[in-house]
Structure 1
Amino acid sequence: MARIKKPIQASDVILFAVTLVIAVIFAFPIFFNLMSAFKTNGEILRDAIALPKGFYTESFTYLLTETEYPRAILNSAILTIGSIIAMIVIIPMAAYAIERTGNRWTSGVYIYFLFGMMVPFQVYMIPLFRQLKAMGLFGNLAGPIMIYIAGSVGFGVLLFTSFLKGVPREIEESAQIDGCSRMGIFWRVVFPLLGPVTASMVVLQGLGIWNDFLMPMLVLPSGQPKTMIVELFYYVGEFSSRWDMIFAGTTMSLIPVLIAFLTLQKYFVKGVSSGAIKG
């Protein structure tokens, strides 16, 4: 049978045009950054939106060989990967205990975690730094990692508990009958089912940590390599700036983000939509 074609309506054309315009608006900064990364500083200052006259790569070479940028890349990777691994280990277990227990005590803990999402970071910033100094965590990478983990608990518990509502309890009961412990049930049976929401957590939190400026700037010691974003900040001067270095550095910082998002895109969309529906 011949396939019946649906007639194109004016609303479909308008919706497509609006979506295309929005996509171009969001994609242009990335295109502008990539284009400027292969221009000299003089070319950028003369005409910022012009295409590069050649394939200038000296900015990348200088950053990787003559500066502390490679160490900054390593610091960013340690902060991001270390924080994400700890979040994946801690937050799903907390959400599982809250969702499956369901008494007034766990409900109170759940509300406490959600309340933490409503308090701006600037409110408790100074007491937090004083606490880091008292614990000996100020000035090293362990301090920001602890802050990132604590700051993600509220959102992570909300995301995982919403997703766990759609996981049937029968599969856990079957595993319990087979002699599996409570910890074994979670890691062997339940956690593999949390792949989409875990991918959402990795993308959302990882992107925020990778691009964070304030925390590494304030917590890590001065005079030493910090993170990628903070190191690029030093190329912005009051009277002159090295835009070629800035765009080259941001291009290198974009590559891991794009790879991670493209790899986890399918699971990210599924996890966010499932959590929203089930919550």
Structure 2
Amino acid sequence: MTIQGRKRLLDTLLFLFTLVVAIIFFFPIFFSVMSAFKTNGEIMKDAIALPTSLYLGSFKYLLTETQFPRAILNSLILTVIAILAQVLVIPMAGYAIVRRNNKWTRFIFLFYLAGMMIPFQAYMLPLFKELKMFGMYGNLVGPIVIYVSGSVGFGSLLYTSFLKGIPIEIEEAADIDGCSRYGIFWRIVFPLLGPCTASMVVLNGLGIWNDYLMPMLVLPSGRAKTMVVEIFKYIGEFSSRWDMIFAGTTLSIIPVMIVFVFLQKYFVKGIASGAIKG
């Protein structure tokens, strides 16, 4: 076999392997969406069968008879405000670490990275006591503060890797023209960080949107929490409402897919650039 033939065979095998992996990862999404349009009896009778009709009763019940609309709003509030705060704070932290580059900024950077190595369960109880002390336990402020502070380590690592590839001469030229330090960052540097920001928005936003533990523990019981927590309520010890579970899961997937489709190009570019420049 020639070299070209071997390369073609290798590309074909790689394509088939990638196709199989893609099908394996896509099947749970397809199964969830398909089951959302079936009654609970149809799911229990034959889980993998296609729906016989477009049943919308589960969606109607969730959106009109339960606290799910409020849970959707809570998820949106937590995700949007936390992401906006992260975009406001973390890029400036990464910029200061890279551009100052002294022993104090290096120590702060290592301090951020060290925080990523401590599991959440190790400081969970002291953190909740601190939230109660500052009056942030039992409302949406507590999770937002935790999401922002908990993402500083990863965000700083992502931005510092990307900032190393931005020429400092651009900033020096703006400085000569009389632009302030904040003006240099927000008007010149930050627009160049678009791919990196998109990567952080997708990764952290997905984590916040799908988080179960934090809203379950911090937000008050008896009231709507977030979409993931509300979906879990339909899982019982002896029986489960699978129609409600799959309908809620499908509703939670839609916003994530929309955001990822619009930011996919920047997300891939940001991850690749950060890996190369780091």
Q: Quick check: TM above 0.5?
A: yes
2:239 is paired with a residue of what secondary structure?
coil
Q: After TM superposition, list the pairs within 5 Å mapping 1:1-279 onto structure 2.
A: 9-279=8-278
Instruction: Find the counterpart in structure 2 of residue 3 from structure 1.
Output: none
Question: How many Å separate the matches in 2 of 1:88 and 1:15?
Answer: 38
Instruction: After superposition, give the CA deviation of every residue in 1:189-212 in whole Å (9 maximum; x if it has no partner).
Output: 000000000000000000000000
1:199 is paired with a residue of what secondary structure?
helix
Structure 1 residue 112 displacement after superposition: 0.2
Instruction: After superposition, give the CA deviation of every residue in 1:86-137 in whole Å (9 maximum; x if it has no partner).
Output: 0000000000001000000100000000000100000000000000000100
Question: How many Å separate the matches in 2 of 1:226 and 1:110?
Answer: 34
Structure 1 residue 9 displacement after superposition: 1.8
Question: How many Å separate the matches in 2 of 1:20 and 1:66?
Answer: 41
With the length of structure 1 as denominator, give the TM-score of the two structures: 0.97
Question: How many Å separate the matches in 1 of 2:8 and 2:107?
Answer: 51
How large is the Cα RMSD of the aligned pairs? 0.8
Moved over 2 A (4+): none
The one-letter code matched in structure 2 to 1:71 is R
Structure 1 residue 12 displacement after superposition: 1.1
1:53 is paired with a residue of what secondary structure?
coil
The one-letter code matched in structure 2 to 1:226 is K
Question: How many Å separate the matches in 2 of 1:71 and 1:221?
Answer: 13
With the length of structure 2 as denominator, give the TM-score of the two structures: 0.98
Structure 1: tracts of 5 or more residues without a match: 1-5
The one-letter code matched in structure 1 to 2:111 is Y
Structure 1 residue 239 displacement after superposition: 1.2
Question: How many Å separate the matches in 1 of 2:101 and 2:12?
Answer: 48
Question: How many Å separate the matches in 2 of 1:263 and 1:99?
Answer: 29
The one-letter code matched in structure 2 to 1:233 is F
Question: How many Å separate the matches in 2 of 1:39 and 1:220?
Answer: 32
Structure 2: tracts of 5 or more residues without a match: none
Question: How many Å separate the matches in 2 of 1:250 and 1:13?
Answer: 35
Question: How many Å separate the matches in 1 of 2:180 and 2:91?
Answer: 17
Question: How many Å separate the matches in 2 of 1:22 and 1:233?
Answer: 28
2:193 is paired with a residue of what secondary structure?
helix
The alignment-based identity, stated in percent, is 69
1:223 is paired with a residue of what secondary structure?
coil
1:9 is paired with a residue of what secondary structure?
helix
1:222 is paired with a residue of what secondary structure?
coil
